[in-house]
Amino acid sequence: DVKVTQSSRYLVKRTGEKVFLECVQDMDHENMFWYRQDPGLGLRLIYFSYDVKMKEKGDIPEGYSVSREKKERFSLILESASTNQTSMYLCASTLASAGYGYTFGSGTRLTVV
């Protein structure tokens, strides 16, 4: 069964900490995405990547960065965590070909205190 695996289900971090969220897919997908999901706001795209070492800003990239050194791994980095970054973070991947849906990971619930 194909999978997108996020390294942590729950994380609690302190304000100002540097936070790494890891995502690994085993489907040889070219495209990978990071979303955050908040009540009343839905899923919002943070960053995405079409290929190794490539990255594109999504709708809300401020306060985040990403790294894609290998095709299967896409990391989201919170440079200096703040309380307004408390959220559910979802990683997804898909083939580059037309019309394929995303496969999502189980999500990481991040709380910044």
> Which residues in the 64-83 window bind another protein by CB under 8 A?
none
Interacting residue with another protein among 52, 106, 111, 113 (CB under 8 A)? 106
Amino acid at 90: L
Q: Which stretch binds another protein (CB under 8 A): 11-19, 62-70, 78-86, 104-112?
A: 104-112
Contact flag: residue 104 with another protein (CB under 8 A): yes
Q: Minimal distance in Å, beta carbon 50 to another protein?
A: 7
Interacting residue with another protein among 11, 45, 60, 77 (CB under 8 A)? 45
Q: Minimal distance in Å, beta carbon 56 to another protein?
A: 9
Interacting residue with another protein among 50, 51, 70, 113 (CB under 8 A)? 50
3-state secondary structure the chain: CCCEEECCCEEEECCCCCEEECEEECCCCCEEEEEEEECCCEEEEEEEECCCCCCEECCCCCCEEEEEEECCEEEEEECCCCHHHCEEEEEEEECCCCCCCCEECCCEEEEEC
Q: How far is CA 75 from the centre of its chain?
A: 7
Instruction: Point out which residues bind another protein (CB under 8 A).
Output: 4, 31, 33, 40-43, 45, 48, 50, 58, 90, 92, 94, 96, 98-107, 109
